[in-house]
Every structure is written in C-alpha cells, then in structure tokens.
A and B are shown apart, each in its own frame.
Chain A
Amino acid sequence: MAIADTVLTETVIDVSDRHTLADYSAASAGLPFATEQGYCDLHRRINETGHRCIDYGQARGAEGTMLDRLCLGYVDEKFWHFIVNDSFAKYPAHAWHRLLPLAASLKPRIQFVKRNWTFEIKPKTGVLLYPFGWSTRLSFLIVGPHSLADLADVVDCLVNGRCIRPMSGPTPLRSAEYFEHIADGVRTDAFAGSETNDTAGPAALMVVTVLAKHGPSPSVKALTSADQTTMLRLVRPTDRPSSKPFADRVRYLLPNDPFQYALVHEGRYFMWLQSRMRPEKRNRQLLRCHHNNTFESLDRARHLKALIDNAVQSPSSGAAESLLRAAEAELNRPCYKGKLVLDFVQGQEVKDSLKQFAG
C-alpha cells in the first residue's frame, strides 16, 4: 500500500527532557524538596485548595521567573492508583515515598512555527517537579488533515529545526535550546539556581500517537521501502542511512498485529493503535489514556533510572536513601505494564543500573 492514502486528522506529540540532581547539598535552596516532611506538606497544601493548584508565589513567597502555578502532578485516576494504593485524599502523605511529582505551568507561552502546513498545531507546556529533578514537557496536538509525511516533517522540525518560538522572544528556538532555557528558570525557581548540580538526559523523550485518521492504516507488515523510510522518519528524522533494519525498530503492541505497533528509536516512539482509533464507545478516551500513560511511565522510568545512575556514580551526592529505594522498587516492579514501558524497564540498561546500585 501507499501510506499517502492515509489521512491523519488528529495526532498528539509529547516531548520531555530530564534533569536529575547530581548533588543534593543545595536542594533546600528552592522549593521544600530536601526533606520528606517539607515535600509532603507542600503536596498537602496544594491538595487542600479547591483546584489543587496554587500560585508559585504562594509556595515560595516570591514570584517565579519561569514557574507560574504549582499543581499536584497526579490525578484520581487508575494510572496513579497503580502507584499509590490508598484513597486519593491521602496521596500527599505518600508523595515522598511513592515519588509523586508536582506539575508546574510555565509563564512563557510558546508558538509552533509552522511551515506551509494547513493543519493546526496546538502547543502546551509544563514542568514536572520531583525532589530529585524535573522534566520539562512540550505537548503538541495536531488537528486537521495531515499525512504521515507531514507528521514526519513536524517531528523533524521538533528534533532538528527551530520550531518553538517563545511569545516573549522573536527568535524560534530548537527544542534543546528551549529546554535549556526552561531549565535555567526551573533551577532558579525550584532548586538552588546556578548552584544546582544536575545532569540532563542525552536525548529528549518523544511519544507520537495518532488519535484519529481517515482511509487505510499503515500496516507495518505491508510497507514498501519508500513507506518504511517515511515511517522511520517519525522516530529517526535524519537522512543518514539506518544501520538497523526496519523490522528491528518495530514493537508489536498486540502479538503479530500489523495495526497495533510502535516504532522505536533512541527514546522516540511512534504508536499506531488501530483498534482504538475506531470512533466508537470510549475508544478515543482510551487511546488518549494509553498515550498519556505510556509517556508518563517512560518519562518516570527514565527519571528513576537517572536517579539510580547518579547515586551510583556519586555515592556522596546526598540523595535520600528512601527515594533511591523507592526508585529501585518501582524499576524492579513497574506499576504500569505497558509494552513499551516494560521493554525499557526490562532492558539491559536498566538491569545494569539496578545491578550496580544493588552491588
């Protein structure tokens, strides 16, 4: 088949970076992230408000440079019930031991700098704050008819191009530049400013999921060579020839089903779940949940691994033993057992990290 016949109408792209503290000596300089008591109290305080959000200024006593509002980074949904087995009202008490995050909105709004595309790209930003680091999130909802090739161009723009324009600045930024720009503000607002010693992940996590489409689906088993090239650009936006065959990048989300799969390349995931794209019953909601849960779980697992890795590399970093044990436990027994998450958690890299940590 020719994937040109496939018309996507709604796609979501979530991107996040990862910063993990390498030294906790200055952790108490910003938000109360240094101790279990302070961290849980902040959660309780936010939870007691009607909207479960407070202004950053209310928490810190001064306006933030980058952070706008602080909210609970979890909701009363099944995904979090897997992590905390208690009533939702008591979640703040588990915030430290269960590594529950805070979600902060960002002050600077952004625009996606479009090319000659007729579809709409709606951006959304935020930061997930943990006692041991943060993740800046970029979420793009693409609405309107677009092809897989268009989608690959958007991914290419996000990875390689200057597509993110802060409302406050005239110059479009690369995503890496934007993440670093946000990171500076987060260090200042939530941690110890320039004193913050953190490590960044080598590559941003990206999860792309098609939510709705018209026409045929790209069967992963029936792609022509040209189709494979186009599809591969969704996770590997480069012209350099690939050393691995296309089939090695395919993960079947249902056994041998050519319409339920993911393409994977170095922290970038493209998911096609045909069974959830059918516009009936709760499919749309379930598909969105699947995307969100996958993205959340992967981001969280990568973060926990980095926490373990940093502790292994710098035993004197001062990371709380309880955080490390919680991270170790969750990596050993992931709460969300999605196929892609399990692939990552049960992969050799995580195994090696856990082995070194245990040793």
Chain B
Amino acid sequence: MHFDWFPRKPYLGLYCLSVIGLLIVWAAPKSLLAQGPPTPSPTTTQVTLDISTTPSRQAVARQEQFDIFIVVTNKSALEVHNLSVSLFNGDFSAVRLPSFPAPLPGFNSAEGTASIEAKPSAQFKQQQILFAFTYTWLNDGQKVTVIQGSAVAIQVVRPFDEEAKGLLGGGAALLYLLLPVIPLLLGYQLVDRWLSGEFQFPTFGTQYVVPAFLVAMLLNLVLLLAFKQLSVDYTEPATMLAILVGSFLVGIGFAALRRYQDLRLITFWRYDERDQAPTYLKKALLRPNAPPFYETATGTDDEGASWSGILLHQPAAGFALGATFQVSRPVGRPDLPEASQEELDQIFANGALRPGLGPRRKLIKLLERHKLVPNPATPIQQDGNPQDSAVVTGLKGFHVRQRQPTEIVVLT
C-alpha cells in the first residue's frame, strides 16, 4: 500500500478535517443533554417524605435498650398510606416499633419512638442500623409502594467503657488484656506457694506486670487467631466466671505441671501423724529422692519446746520428725509367716539396712506381709517425753541444733 498520494492532494486533507469538526460540533449538544435530569412525565405526581431518625444515645452496651426518635414529614400534597418501619441489622432487635397515622395527610408530620436492643452477640464496633420505612400512595388511582431508608450510627461498646476512659493512656485496653491473665498468675502463685510451704494468699506485685502483659498479649493473639470473630463480654456473669475459673485453673495446672515432683510428694508421700509404722517407714524409705542416710536432729521449735527425732522433710511444710524402729520376726504367732534368713540377709547387714532401693522395697514388702514386725526403737522426744506417734508434723520454726547419723530401722 502507498500513502504518498496524500501530500500530493492537500485539498482532500482539509476536507476530511472539516468533516470531523462538523461531526463533533453536531454531537456535543446531544451528549450534554443526555446527562441532565430526565424530564418528568407530565402525568406523574411525586410524594416525598422527610424522615428524621435520632438515637437517644450514641453508644450502647450489649443487651442494652435505647430509643430512636423518628419524625416523618409528608412534603407532598398527597396522602401516604400504610406507613410502617422495620429494622435491618442482625446485631440489634426491635423491642418496640412505632405506628404512624394512616393515612398521613399531605404536608403533615408524624412522630414515634422505636425501642431497640443490642443483642448479646452484638459486635463491639460502630454499627449502622438501617430503618426501612414502607408506605404507599395512589398515583392516578394506581397504588405505588415505596421503601425509603434511614440509617442510624450506633457504637456498641464494651462494659465499663466509659469508666475506662478515665484511665490514662490505654488503661482500659490493659485491663482487658490482664483480666484473664491475673487469675492465671494468681492460680499459679497459689499452688507454687503452697508447694513451697508458704501457704498464703498471693499478691499481684509490680514484678508481675511485665510478664503478665506479655502473657496477656500472647493469649489474646492466640484467641484472635483461633476465634477471629470472638468478642468476649467480660461482664456477662457466666462469661466472666468461665474466664476467671478457666484462667485460674490453667494457672494451677501450669504450676502443678512445673512442680510435678512436689505435687506428687504432697499427694502421696506426705507424712501424717496417724501413720502407722509400716506406712511411715514406706514414706520415709521409698519416697522419690529419699535420702541414703538419716539423721537424728535435736532442736527447738518457735515455742521453745525441745524436740528430738529423725529429721524428715515434709512436702510444703518444712520439717517433720520421725521415730526409729526395730523390726523382728513375729513371735508367738504361728499364723503369721516368718521372713527367712535369706530374705533378711538381702535386706540387712549387721543389723543395719543395706544401701539401695532394693533392700528398702523388700523390707516394706515384708512389713506389709507381716513377715516382720516393727517396734519402736527410739521414739520422738518432746521435752524429754517420748511421743506415741511414729511421726510428728507441724513443727513451726524448728531450729536444728544438733544432728547425728542414725539408722531409721534396725533388725533385732
């Protein structure tokens, strides 16, 4: 194809440009006219309602009821029939909706109050409540139904939101963060102190603020990831109770897991003054981390009483004192089996208990089977008076003055 003919015919180019210009000029008024308001049909009568919806408050809490004041003004000459209002928002429910005069004459107004309640599951955020007003009017004898909307903005707020605003610098947020964490820490401390022998109500000291904040952040992050739509209402009694108890239990559980050994000792190996000799010996000899040797301790308690006995460690309670025992074959009881010499040789050497766990287990087994009979060797002494019980607990402020290696059980 060759285009070299164009410069050679300049009159033809000018002609084309003129045609294009004419086309533009012709088309422009048409497009401008097309963008303007449509010309009303000469047969249509327009009814216009002016609707005003005003909430009684800007923010509400869950399950809190509030009012919307509604004013409807008919700005046309025609009557409006069947004027009604309905509510569109899943987080709110209408307690009571107003009823309007029927018909609403032209150039008249009507007013009413709608009572609305935020549902218990309403999300804590700025919400738009749409009121849909439905009405009808007659256009040349033909019934026309119109729906006209009016939105109201309502903030659903958490409880104590107003009060929290009095706190400085995001205090409310901090409180919300800490609420599930504080029972957790208290539960942890409670168990931890109990197992440490310092049973007292724990305190939330300043040293816990930073770790608590960190835990709170992590906890909330986890909850956010796990339940994206979760919006917890702490003031709802059941929710708050569940959170407090759950958090408390988690704290207890964590402390129990961390101090499992102590918990096991306190549960199964705690000395009791009602313990009989076999039970006491079992607890003393077979407890986890039982000492290889025992000592007789002499000392005084915080009341000045003098005590003497085998020094034992009572889980979570400091010291306990125990008696020493002799074990021997049962005499005069042919109905009871006797420990054989071989069995005794496996347990005792020169009358003293052999080292290791094996001999201890065998000894307890023989005691439980009544093949050996325990009898006191050296009872616990209080101010020089022998005590009947195999073990004494609850010594407060016991101060050890003297220790002496002692066999807790001997063969006689």
- Taking Cβ atoms with an 8 Å cutoff, the residues of A that contact B are 1, 5-7, 214-217, 219, 221-222, 256, 258-259, 274-275, 277-278
- A1 and B412 in contact (CB under 8 A), knowing A214-B331, A216-B328, A256-B404? no
Q: Output the nearest chain B residue to A222 by Cβ-Cβ distance.
A: B376
**A216 to B326 CA separation, bound complex (whole angstroms):** 7
Query: Residues of B contacting A6 with CB < 8 Å?
Result: 331
A220 to chain B, nearest CB (A): 9
**Least distance between A59 CB and chain B CB atoms (Å):** 48
How many Å lie between the Cα of A221 and that of B328 in the bound state?
17
In angstroms, how far is the closest chain A Cβ from the Cβ of B82? 103
- Residue total for B at the interface (Cβ-Cβ under 8 A): 20
Are the C-beta atoms of B328 and A219 separated by less than 8 Å? no
Contact of B378 among A5, A7, A222, A275 (CB under 8 A): A222
A interface: dominant SS: loop
Task: Report yes or no: B412 in contact with A221, Cβ–Cβ below 8 A.
Answer: no
A64 and B6 CA atoms in complex are apart in Å by 182
Contacts A/B (CB < 8 Å), 21 sampled: A1-B375, A5-B331, A5-B332, A5-B375, A7-B331, A215-B331, A215-B332, A216-B326, A217-B326, A221-B377, A221-B378, A221-B379, A222-B375, A222-B378, A258-B377, A259-B326, A259-B377, A259-B410, A259-B412, A274-B412, A275-B351
A216 to B404, CA, bound (A): 24
Would you call B44 an interface residue if the criterion is a C-beta within 8 Å of the partner chain's C-beta atoms?
no
Q: With A and B bound together, what is the CA distance between A215 and B327 in angstroms?
A: 8
Type the 1/0 row for B119-151, where 1 means its CB is closer than 8 Å to any CB of A. Answer: 000000000000000000000000000000000
Query: How long is the Cα–Cα vector from A256 to B378 in the complex, in angstroms?
Result: 10
A278 cross-chain contacts in B, Cβ below 8 A: 350-351, 411
How far, in angstroms, from A262 to B351 measured CA to CA in the complex? 20
Closest 9 CB pairs of A and B: A215-B331, A222-B376, A216-B375, A217-B412, A1-B375, A221-B378, A219-B377, A216-B328, A214-B331
Complex CA–CA separation, A219 to B350 (angstroms): 17
Specify which chain A residues have a CB less than 8 angstroms from the CB of B118 in the assembled complex: none
Other-chain contact of B329, A215, A219, A222, A259 (Cβ < 8 Å):
A215
Cα separation A251 to B326 with both chains bound (whole Å): 20
Assess whether B350 is in contact with A258, with CB atoms less than 8 Å apart: no
Inter-chain contact A216/B412, CB cutoff 8 Å: yes
Cβ of B297 to closest chain A Cβ, rounded Å = 13
In the complex, how many angstroms separate the beta carbon of A254 from the nearest chain B beta carbon? Answer: 12
Chain B proximity of A142: nearest CB distance (Å): 18
Please, which residue of chain B has its CB at the minimum distance from the CB of A217?
B412
> In the assembly, what is the distance between CA of A264 and CA of B328, in Å?
27
In the complex, chain B residues 388-412 whose Cβ is within 8 Å of any chain A Cβ: 404, 410-412
Other-chain residue from B376, B404, B410 in contact with A1 (beta carbon distance below 8 A)? B376
Our pick among A214, A222, A275 for the contact of B377 (Cβ within 8 Å) is A222
Other A-B contacts than A214-B329, A278-B411, 11 sampled, CB-CB below 8 A, are: A5-B373, A6-B331, A215-B328, A215-B330, A216-B328, A216-B331, A216-B375, A256-B404, A259-B410, A274-B351, A278-B350
Give bound CA distance, A151 to B410, whole Å: 25
Q: How far is the CA of A7 from the CA of B350 in the complex (A)?
A: 21
B401 nearest CB across to chain A (Å): 15
Report how far A274 CA is from B352 CA in the complex, Å. Answer: 12
- Contact yes or no, A7 B332, CB < 8 A: yes
A217 and B378 alpha carbons, distance in the complex (Å): 12
| B350 contacts A221, C-beta separation under 8 Å | no
Compute how far the CA of A212 lies from the CA of B322 in the bound complex, rounded to whole angstroms: 29
> Shortest CB–CB separation between residue B170 and chain A, in angstroms?
69
B386 adjacent to chain A (CB < 8 Å): yes
Q: How far is the CA of A320 from the CA of B239 in the complex (A)?
A: 108
The docked-state distance in angstroms from the alpha carbon of A259 to that of B323 is: 15
Do A219 and B404 form a contact, CB below 8 Å, given A7-B331, A274-B412, A275-B351? no
The CA-CA distance from A83 to B211 in the complex, in Å, is 81
In the assembled complex, the CB of A208 is this many whole angstroms from the nearest CB of chain B, namely 19
B350 A275 Cβ-Cβ under 8 A: yes
Q: Which residues of B from 349 to 373 have beta carbons under 8 Å from A?
A: 350-351, 373
Q: How many angstroms between the C-alpha atoms of A278 and B350 in the bound complex?
A: 8
CB-CB < 8 A to B404: which residues of A? 256
List residues of chain A with CB within 8 A of the CB of B378: 219, 221-222, 258
A5 to chain B, nearest CB (A): 6
Alpha-carbon distance between A219 and B328 when the two chains are bound, in angstroms: 13
Interface contact A221-B386, CB-CB below 8 Å: yes
Beta-carbon contact of B373 and A222 below 8 Å? no
